[in-house]
Amino acid sequence: MLDRLDQQPPDALLALIKLHDADPRADKIDLGVGVYRTGQGETPVFGAIKAAEQKLVKEQDSKSYLGPEGDMGFVHALMPYIFDGEDPTIGGRIDGMQTPGGTGAVRLALALAKACGVSRILMGIPSWPNHAQIIKDLGLELVTFAHATDDGAADLAALEAALSDGREGDAVLLHGCCHNPTGVDYTPAQWDDIAQLLEGSPVLPIVDLAYQGLGHGMDEDAYGARRVIAAVPEALIAYSCDKNFGLYRDRVGALYAMTADTESLARVMSNGYALARAAWSMPPDHGAAAVRLILEDEKLTAMWQDELDQMRARIRQVRDRLGTAGQVGSVDLTPLAHQNGMFATLPLDKDQIAELRSEHGIYMAGSGRINVAGLTMDNIEKFIHAVSAVAS
Asked if residue 349 and residue 327 are part of one domain, the reply reads yes
Say yes or no: 279 and 225 in one domain: yes
Q: Supply the pLDDT for residue 300.
A: 98
Answer with the one of 248, 270, 296 that is the final residue of a domain: 296
Kindly list the averaged pLDDT for each block of 10 residues, start to end, along the chain of length 392.
89 83 92 91 94 95 92 96 86 95 97 97 96 97 95 93 95 97 97 95 97 97 96 97 96 97 95 96 95 98 97 96 94 95 95 95 93 95 95 88
Say which CATH number the domain at 341 has.
3.90.1150.10
Q: Distances from the Cα of 288 to the Cαs of 147, 166, 222, 241, in angstroms?
A: 32, 36, 20, 8
pLDDT at 84: 82
Last residue in a domain, options 230, 264, 296? 296
Selecting among 30, 221, 242, 243, the annotated active-site residue is: 243
**CB atoms closer than 10 angstroms to residue 198:** 22
Same domain for 290 and 152: yes
Active site residue 243: yes
Catalytic choice (30, 208, 221, 285): 208
Residues forming a β-bridge with 170: 120
d(CA 344, CA 333): 10
SS3 label, residue 307: helix
Domain co-membership, 112 together with 153:
yes
Q: How many domains does the chain have?
A: 2
Does residue 5 form part of some domain? no
pLDDT, tens only, 247-300? 999 999 999 999 999 999 999 999 999 999 999 999 999 999 999 999 999 999
pLDDT tens per residue, range 170-198:
999 999 999 999 999 999 999 999 999 99
Does the CA dihedral 97-103-104-110 come out positive or negative?
Answer: positive
pLDDT of residue 50: 97
| Domain CATH number, residue 184 | 3.40.640.10
Do 179 and 149 touch, CB atoms closer than 8 A? no
* Cβ neighbours for 175, distance < 8 A, ≥ 6 positions apart: 124, 127, 185, 207, 208, 210
Q: How far apart are CA 164 and CA 160, in angstroms?
A: 6
**Domain that residue 368 falls in:** 10-45+310-390
pLDDT value for 85:
75
Q: Examine the domain organization and report whether 105 and 254 are in the same domain.
A: yes
Task: Determine, yes or no, domain membership for 383.
Answer: yes
pTM of the complete model: 0.94
Residues 98, 225: one domain? Answer: yes
Catalytic residue among 30, 71, 128, 155: 128
pLDDT of residue 86: 74
